[in-house]
Amino acid sequence: MLSVRSVRNASIAWKWISVREQQQKLTRTQFAFQSTAVNAKPQNYDSKSFVKFLDEEWQKALPYKAIPGLSRYEMVRGFMKGGKLANLSLNELFLKCRERFGDIYRIPGIFGQPVSLVLFNFEDFEKVFRTEGSWPARPSGEMVIHYRRTRKDGFFNETIGLAAHGEDWGKFRHAVNPVLMHPKNAKLYLEPMQKLNLEFIQRIRDIRDPLTLEVPDNFLNDINRFTFESVAVVALDHEFGLIRKNPDSMEARQLFDNLTAFIKCLYDLGIKPSLYKYIRTPTYRRFEKISDTIFDLTNRYANEAIARMEQNPCKEGEERSVLEKLIKIDRKIAIIMAMDMLMAGVDTTSSALSAVLLCIAKNPEKQQKLREELLQVLPHRDDHFTIENMKHLPYLRACIKESLRTYPISFGNMRETGADLALSGYRVPKGTRVFINSNLLLNEEKFFPRSREFLPERWLRQQDDMIGGDEKLIADNLSKFIFLPFGYGPRSCVGKRIVELELEMSLGNVVRHFESEFNYHSEKPFANHLLNAPQIPLKFKFTDVNY
């Protein structure tokens, strides 16, 4: 039975006033502009009504054991060679099971892994997020925690980093949030990112075919180098020269390749059955070697940056870099944050930028509309983006949001429930691991009418008459818990502002300089494991735009 104490212990600080009732007071276009990384607390908090609501639901709910799902045998046999689940991506696995079991089902825990629930009901999303507390538990990084805790050098004894839980995670985020998430600090990475953007534009001109103006089949490698360089210049305060000067740097390539392999291991160890907690399986040994390489290289570059800063300290009034600000807080926190930024930021940003460029290239009329907006704000070729002029580019941001809706980076989010909850009519105890599949709902018509079309206008305050007049492009009272590209609440993406800035500058610069086309098949452009990644050659055609 759900008690007041259990709810309070979950650190719930929000009133359970119906979000649906609130949304009915909002117009569709007002709602469309709400943040995608919601972190606001409703006013007039009333814990008693919240507890009463949850308690009443709990009393009526069916027992936990009644939740349908895969059996242990189906799980183990399914992932064996030749099994029905062996070659499925994570998204395919979730959707296949949804067809069989519905919007809530269980995945059994195998070899020490806990039982997990898979959720597709947005009302369940809301309950989980609203009760997650001050220190939300995200269980997707157990193997990272296991690796860092068992390192013989004890480097991570004081803090695990972003993968941690509880007070350890809370202290780490409290230290890094003011540097990475405060809006005023965006100017710290604006200039270096602008420089890298212009190098990327010139790289496109260097590698495209002089006759067809198409870039090579392996253009994804250039996108990867660009995003790696963009994250590294913030995380390590270091330019590798991968875009034009030294694109074949073996050491940087080694670091990037290991970051990509790291993501694949998260799926193999975190989702598929694995004995790594009991014995060092071949997959875990590979993960351990990858993590060692990432640690060694990142630690070295971070220490080199620290040495440079100590030899050439900032002058009075001079703005410090992100790394310098973090070092001033704590040297070890700065190094661990640099590692976590590279691990979490490179592949995700590459996927997002690929999606944005593909959507724009396949929709020339939207591309032209965006170009017109950009040229109004930056009319001259030599004009640079600033914090101020970027505030006047709503269609640019709408194009990025629509691209992330069309091709989301991952399935959604993971959490452990922060309280006993009734989800889809079943009792789910506190501490249950849940997969929140919000991103797998983004192409459903009931939430986004004309969902297969690329319509950035759906995110604008006033939709163009040419789109359909009174036609709704976002469902009435759409739950804010469906479109969450950067997560939700205290555990939302710490690099959100960096990624947003990078995507806005990158798309803006490409559209200002080129007319982009993609003249090939693009039915299923992305493959999925834990994250989406392009699986088709990105042979864009880039034609120079004359001012």
Region 31-55 average pLDDT: 49
Q: What CATH code would you report for 139-365+374-383+491-541?
A: 1.10.630.10
The model's confidence at residue 217, banded by pLDDT at 50, 70 and 90, is: very high
pLDDT, residue 31, reads 26
pLDDT, residue 112, reads 62
CA-closest candidate to residue 228, choices 205, 202, 246, 255: 255
pLDDT, residue 46, reads 57
Residues 82-139 pLDDT 10s: 888 878 888 888 999 999 999 999 998 765 678 899 999 999 999 999 999 889 988 8
Helix (H, G, I), strand (E, B) or coil at 416: strand
> What distance in Å separates the CA atoms of residue 361 and residue 369, rounded to the nearest whole number?
13
The model's confidence at residue 513, banded by pLDDT at 50, 70 and 90, is: very high
> What distance in Å separates the CA atoms of residue 67 and residue 493, rounded to the nearest whole number?
31
| DSSP string computed for 308-369 | HHHHSPPPTTPPPPHHHHHHHH-HHHHHHHHHHHHHHHHHHHHHHHHHHHHHHHT-HHHHHH
Q: Looking at the predicted structure, is the pLDDT value of residue 502 above 80?
A: yes
Calculate Rg over the CA atoms of the chain.
24
pLDDT, residue 311, reads 85
**Residue spans in the chain of domains classed CATH 1.10.630.10:** 139-365+374-383+491-541
Q: Looking at the predicted structure, is the pLDDT value of residue 75 above 90?
A: no
pLDDT, residue 139, reads 83
Region 352-358 average pLDDT: 97
pTM of the model: 0.86
Neighbours of 66 (CB within 10 A): 10
Residues present in the chain in total: 547
Eight-state DSSP code of residue 109? -
Region 354-375 average pLDDT: 97
Q: Highest-confidence range of 115-124, 139-148, 186-195, by mean pLDDT?
A: 115-124
pLDDT, residue 17, reads 34
Residues 6+ apart with CB under 8 A from 253: none
Q: Among 12-26, 91-105, 360-374, which stretch is predicted with the lowest mean pLDDT?
A: 12-26
Q: Looking at the predicted structure, is the pLDDT value of residue 6 above 70?
A: no
Q: Among 357-366, 465-474, 529-538, which stretch is predicted with the lowest mean pLDDT?
A: 465-474
Alpha helices (H) along 407-480 = 465-468
Residue 240 near residue 246, CB atoms below 8 Å: yes
- Mean pLDDT computed over every residue of the chain: 84
CA-closest candidate to residue 428, choices 18, 51, 57, 19: 57
Residue 63 near residue 427, CB atoms below 8 Å: yes
Tell me which H or E stretch contains 507. helix 496-513
pLDDT, residue 463, reads 57
More confidently predicted of 13 and 445: 445
More confidently predicted of 24 and 174: 174
Q: How far is CA 49 from the centre of its chain?
A: 34
More confidently predicted of 247 and 133: 133
> What distance in Å separates the CA atoms of residue 245 and residue 202, rounded to the nearest whole number?
11
